[in-house]
Amino acid sequence: MVVLDRNWRCDVGEIDLVLRDGQVLVVCEVKTRRDMTHGSPHEAVDATKAARLQLLAARWMEQRGVRPPEVRVDLVAVLAPAAGAARIDHVRGVA
């Protein structure tokens, strides 16, 4: 994947990463948790958050004047405990 943008913002919200995966535009949400007290990082991207990411993708594409054949929303879930190695899970196509 090629990074096209990081921490892009508009009045609707923010996209953590915008990437190109071949011809696919990928909007990626990165969620990090130290523990599971407030749920897993996976649980942070619900239907409402996924819909907002799709809207943000449309705004980003409009601003950049690009129309890729496909847009995908991914999640990078990071569980980084205070001690020990972090666990990273890249989930493709969460929305």
The pLDDT value given to residue 95: 74
CA angle 88, 6, 25 (to 5 degrees): 80
Total domains in the chain come to: 1
Residues spanned by the domain of 45: 2-91
Task: Give the span between the Cα atoms of 70 and 81, in whole angstroms.
Answer: 35
If you search the block for the tokens 């921490």, which residue do you land on? 7
* This prediction's pTM: 0.89
Query: The domain spanning residue 67 has which CATH number?
Result: 3.40.1350.10
pLDDT level of residue 40 (50, 70, 90 thresholds): confident
If you search the block for the tokens 């508009």, which residue do you land on? 10
Tell me, rounded to whole angstroms, the distance of Cα 41 from its chain centroid. 12
Strand partners, 47: none
Task: Give the span between the Cα atoms of 86 and 88, in whole angstroms.
Answer: 6
